[in-house]
Amino acid sequence: MLTREFSPKAGGAEHYAMALVEGLAARHEVHVFAQRIEHHWPHVHYHLISQPFKRPRFVNQWWYAWETWRQTRVGFDIVHAHENTWHGEVQTVHVLPVWIHYFTLNPSAAAWLTRVLGSRARSLLLIALKWLNVLLSPRLLSYLWLEKARLSLTGRHAQRHITSVSMTLTEQLLEHFPLDARRVHTLMPGVWGADGWWQQAQSELELTHAQPTHAKPTHDQHGAFQTPGLARLDWRQVLWPDCPKGPGGLDGTGALQDRAHFNAPALMSGELKARARLGLGLTGLDQAPGLDQSSSLTHWLLWVGHDDKKKGLHALLKALAQVPASVGLMVVGRGASSASARALSASLGLDARVSWLGAMSDVAPAYWACDALVHPTLEDTFGMVVLEAMSWARAVVVSAPAFCGIASELTHRQEAWVLADPRDVGALAQAIEAVLEPLTAVALGERAWAWSQERNWPSVCLAQEAVYREVLQSTQRAKDSSHG
């Protein structure tokens, strides 16, 4: 498995790769080649790839591609890449390729050229200028060449298969690249769900022999969430404090004794939210010195992301200023360190209502603490945080399919509240107030939970194994025909 970052603090693509590794490791010998490894799983072999060139990024991309090619040329049945590389029998595409962005979606302000030259001549001129820019940019040249190489299905890569994380992305790949549709597969991300999270927490606890601690969560000077010494057992106690005693609350087969505990009503309970908020240090945030002591934060929204602009954090902050002062916002991910987002929050007078939790190795407690996830993204090929929130029975506000891939699978006001335009701050504020209305919140949460139960990682892993078998069978047929 090839991915530069193999850490729970990374983004959706990395979480996807990690979930596949965890699911496949029980039946296969799995090797991970990454430049950052913050993951430990039984029977997984980890290979740290050096990173002598952190900047510029495209140089590091070349280095990573070269090193992984050199180290995986022999000894492996399948090389599965989640990065731009020229090698690998299976390539998983997580984001819209640079080619599509640059040549088909990148708008131009030179509309006046249409009046002077006509629309066709203008298009030809702009394409020529873009190609000139490519030829003068080593960065663009690198990304475009690597994309072309990883999506090649000819020559040495005649047995390669491509997977994408959403039907929308698959359609765009087939439209803009010369691909054989029979070798392009849509494998949408799955989710472990509440009981899956519980089993993983128990396995990790047994593996590391961690002991429960009661260290209080703290925040660093930038407000990033830290839990020094806080073992996952503490979060198990937050999720289910009355768990049956014994071998981790499990029966002799390792199965949960009471799976019914993880249903939508239990996950939406006010008691769980209160325990999670206390554990995350949210209680009393609005009582900081010098702030309006009459305020009381009774509802919490959650935003998760690393790119504050692309994922719509700025629009969300503006919308937060328009909803009642009893609504607070948790900001999780590297987006919490954005200077522009923090400055906007301060200018809007929201300091008492925003908790900058930062990157979290496990986002589950933040899902428990929130009333709704708000994901006004401007570009997401899928949107794993949406599915994760739904699996915890949380109401979700998400951008329309044109902006977020998972929305194409959802029905407005059924499984989620779908935003026609995530840039419309007024509509976003109205959506927030709507999903916080008690009856709507319960209905959305219950339907979201039911929908998520049909989309789990074990089924994704089985589908991925089927792709591997196709690769191996076609490779064997090619060998047999060459010998014949």
3-state secondary structure of 333: coil
Give the three-state DSSP class for 18.
helix
In this structure, what DSSP letter does residue 97 have?
-
The radius of gyration computed from the CA coordinates of the chain, to the nearest angstrom, equals 24
Query: What confidence tier does 482 reach under pLDDT thresholds 50, 70, 90?
Result: confident
Q: What is the pLDDT of residues 267-283, one digit of tens each?
A: 999 999 999 999 999 98
170 pLDDT tier (thresholds 50, 70, 90): very high
Asked whether residue 225 carries a pLDDT value surpassing 70, the answer given is no
pLDDT at 440: 96
Q: Which of 8-12, 137-141, 329-333 has the highest mean pLDDT?
A: 329-333
SS3 257: coil
The pLDDT value recorded for residue 291 is 43
Q: What pLDDT does residue 105 have?
A: 61
- Residue 65 tokens read as 């591609």
The pLDDT tens digits of the residues spanning 6-35 come to 988 787 889 899 999 999 999 999 999 999
pLDDT higher than 70, residue 180:
yes
Q: How far is CA 295 from CA 98, 252, 315, 346, 349, in A?
A: 46, 50, 23, 17, 13
What is the per-residue pLDDT across 396-426, written as a single tens digit (0 to 9) for each?
999 999 999 999 999 999 999 999 999 999 9
End-to-end CA distance of the chain: 33
pLDDT of residue 286: 53
Give the CATH superfamily of 193-243+261-455. Answer: Glycogen Phosphorylase B; (3.40.50.2000)
Q: What is the pLDDT of residue 235?
A: 86
Tell me which amino acid residue 347 is.
Answer: S
| pLDDT attached to residue 228 | 36
**Largest pairwise CA distance in the chain:** 83
- 230-261 per-position pLDDT tens digit: 445 578 888 888 776 554 444 444 455 556 67
Question: How far is residue 224's CA from residue 226's CA, in Å, rounded to a whole number?
Answer: 6
**CA-based nearest residue to 394, from 441, 453, 331, 451:** 441
pLDDT at 80: 98
Pairing of strands 90-93, 225-226: unpaired
Query: Residues spanned by CATH 3.40.50.2000 within the chain?
Result: 5-190+458-483, 193-243+261-455
Residues 6+ apart with CB under 8 A from 430: none
Q: Assign domain 5-190+458-483 one CATH number from 3.40.50.150, 3.40.50.2000, 3.40.50.620, 3.40.50.300.
A: 3.40.50.2000
Taking Cα atoms as reference points, which of 376, 308, 383, 305 lies closest to residue 94? 383
Q: Which amino acid type is present at position 53?
A: F
